[in-house]
Chains A and B, each alone.
Chain A
Amino acid sequence: MINWLSQIASVTKFGLLSIPQRRGSVGAALFGIAGVVAVLVGVLSIAAGFRRAMAASGSPDAALVLRSGADSEMVSGFGRATTRIIADAPGVARGPDGPLASAELFVIINLPKISTGSDVNVPLRGVERPALKVRDSMRIEEGRMFEWGKDEVVVGIGAAREFSGLRVGDKIKVGRYEWPVVGIFSAGGGASESEIWTDAAVLQPAYKRGDSFQSVYVKLKSAESFREFHDALSADPRLSASAMRQTDYYADQSTAVTKLVTTLGYLIALLMAVGAVFGALNTMYSSVSARTREIATLRALGFGSGAVVASVMLESVALAIVGGAVGAGLSYIAFNGLHTATMNWQSFSQVTFALAVTPQLLVQGVVLATLIGAVGGLLPAIRAARQPIAAALREL
């Protein structure tokens, strides 16, 4: 066994040492594999970033209440009386000024995207005072908070970055009115950073919503209080409402986009990987071909066919891993933390987020490269081991 391993090590070493003589084809294969991995990791970083933004949007001790049957705020609706019953339900945390529950309004306005100039749907949320305690990650980064009862808005940091006219001092068109932007806020990287916030009480008349809301965000006494809260709402005959944890809601909201992007990512990577396999095949065939006499000589001296197969495979996989690592590294440099925005199909509005090249994605990229190397090396390895020694010894 040790003898066999040392045979593999020796033959692999000779192959690797001869790479400088084959740098053209080796470079092309590395470039191809690096490209595949960079694209795969890059595309999947969109899904990972989107998922991360949505996950950062909720905490386990917070819940969201929508009308029964509604799967997003867009299709939900409550009267004020209902929102009061929800706020007073058991399990809801209370502060000095009452329950930590914010009945909210969710509308969409059109704003041009800075990167493309085309109009997109940007969420405008009307909130109540407890909203800041329900979402305790909210911080004013620039300017100030809007004044309650005034026609003013604050803008999420992601929205300010991605959409036009959302700097402090700008004015946005809300219905027939123009409201000033007075502050920029962050929200721990969550989906709220894609939104514009104002006082629900001033948004209602602007959109002729009377005294209605679309959702109620509540802070629970603890994560364990959810069951109690949920059951109380279900059991109350006055309500037609369903409660869900914010974490579950946002996870659900991210499903469509992440599935689409992930599927697309794998599809593109698969197509490119087929090309890269041919690149690896070509490289390894040329390696085996350039070393025909050398390999035959080693086999004549007594090196086994198995060792030759293993060493060609090892060389191919080693090259592929280098290519994969380069691709993953480039992808990390190019995409990690890159800010962008995309449509969230559940809310029909834009969500801004940062692309996330996670360690798992980097590993995934290198695993893909390894597979490309293994598949690309297999046939040339078999060819190297099967060549008749006597004939191959005379190859020039």
Chain B
Amino acid sequence: MSDAGAANGALVDVRDVEKVFHRGSEEIHVLRGVNLQVPSGEFLALMGPSGSGKSTLLNLIGGLDHPTRGTVSIAGERVDQLSDRRLAAWRARHVGFVFQLYNLIPVLTAERNVELPLLLTHLSKAERRKHVETALEAVGLQHRAQHYPRQLSGGEQQRVGIARGIVTDPTLLLCDEPTGDLDRKAGDEILGLLSALSREHGKTIIMVTHDPHASARAARTVYLNKGELTREPKD
């Protein structure tokens, strides 16, 4: 299908994407002819059962993997054609990631974790510190800046993860099951934070989830089932 919300000039433009993995001689078609367009500033939820290809699609949009066929353009740039080295630089500039298991560096404080993506920029130390303060403030964790991940609750760790994701003011924030490892209360706080980022700061967010409660907070939800994108969930 072609996404109904699509418009030419969409920030994210995925066309006829297929992804095939090989297990021995067996071919596993994880994505089949996926088309998806996401306009700038949209908060999109990508739902589907386990193994439906949600994370694979997210990885293709985030430049962590290449499609077998089709094109992936972000802000007009064909990321499917970039080499690994250029993709790394592109990700640093344009994409913020939020992971299910937070993926914080355990030996660094919250502040240093948030600063990580800024190490890839040419900002001075003082400028980096300012950006980090702003990002931690945005997630309400400025008072926990000096704490290590092990000293933070799951919800707080995920907030640090979000602060890290937005600290470079990326084009796109990609969240892979951001509430998957949290209890309902902490999950709600994270979802509220993502909604606010989209609503108040115009962030373009794509969130993979299998939780309808989470997807309800998004502006739009699309479904993946056996590698195919639909507007409605399939039974």
Contact = CB atoms under 8 A, between A and B. Distances in A.
Task: Indicate, yes or no, whether A interacts with B.
Answer: yes
A390 interface: yes
Given A302-B92, A305-B88, A388-B65, A393 B120 contact: no
Contacts of B107: 14, 17-18
B64 A300 contact: yes
A305 B105 contact: no
A299 B122 CA distance: 18
Interface in B77-118: 84-85, 88-93, 97, 99, 101, 103, 105-108, 116-117
A88 interface: no
A235 interface: no
A297 interface: yes
Contact of A297 (B55, B85, B89, B105): B105
A18 B149 CA distance: 14
A3 B118 CA distance: 11
A390 B120 contact: no
Interface in B177-196: none
A7 interface: yes
A393 B103 contact: yes
A301 B117 contact: yes
Interface in A342-396: 388-390, 393-394, 396
Contact of A14 (B88, B97, B105): B105
B67 to A, nearest CB: 12
B119 interface: yes
B120 A7 contact: yes
A26 to B, nearest CB: 14
A306 B84 CA distance: 11
A390 B105 contact: no
B134 interface: no
Nearest to A15: B107
A245 B106 CA distance: 68
Query: Chain A interface mostly helix, strand, loop or mixed?
Result: helix
Nearest to A302: B92
Contacts of B84: 305
Given A18-B106, A18-B107, A393-B99, A302 B55 contact: no
A175 interface: no
Number of chain A interface residues as a range: 20 to 34
A394 B101 CA distance: 8
Interface in A302-344: 302-306
B99 A303 contact: no
Nearest to B104: A297
A7 B105 CA distance: 15
A57 to B, nearest CB: 57
B65 A300 contact: no
A294, A301, A393 pick with most chain B CB within 10 angstroms:
A301
B97 to A, nearest CB: 5
Given A302-B92, A390-B56, A10 B116 contact: yes
A304 B119 CA distance: 12
B226 to A, nearest CB: 19
Contact of B85 (A300, A305, A393, A396): A305
Contacts of A305: 84-85, 88
Contacts of A304: 85, 88-89
A389 B176 CA distance: 14
Contact of A302 (B56, B88, B105, B108): B88
Nearest to B164: A301
Contacts of A393: 64, 99, 103
A390 B59 CA distance: 7
Given A14-B108, A390-B59, A302 B103 contact: no
B89 to A, nearest CB: 6
Given A298-B116, A305-B84, A390 B55 contact: yes
A22 to B, nearest CB: 12
B227 interface: no
Given A17-B107, A300-B91, A393-B99, A10 B119 contact: yes
A293 B89 CA distance: 19
A359 B123 CA distance: 44
Contacts of B64: 300, 389-390, 393
10 contacts: A10-B116, A18-B106, A296-B103, A301-B91, A301-B116, A301-B120, A302-B92, A305-B84, A390-B64, A393-B64
Given A18-B106, A297-B105, 9 more contacts: A297-B97, A297-B99, A300-B64, A301-B91, A301-B164, A302-B91, A305-B88, A389-B65, A393-B103
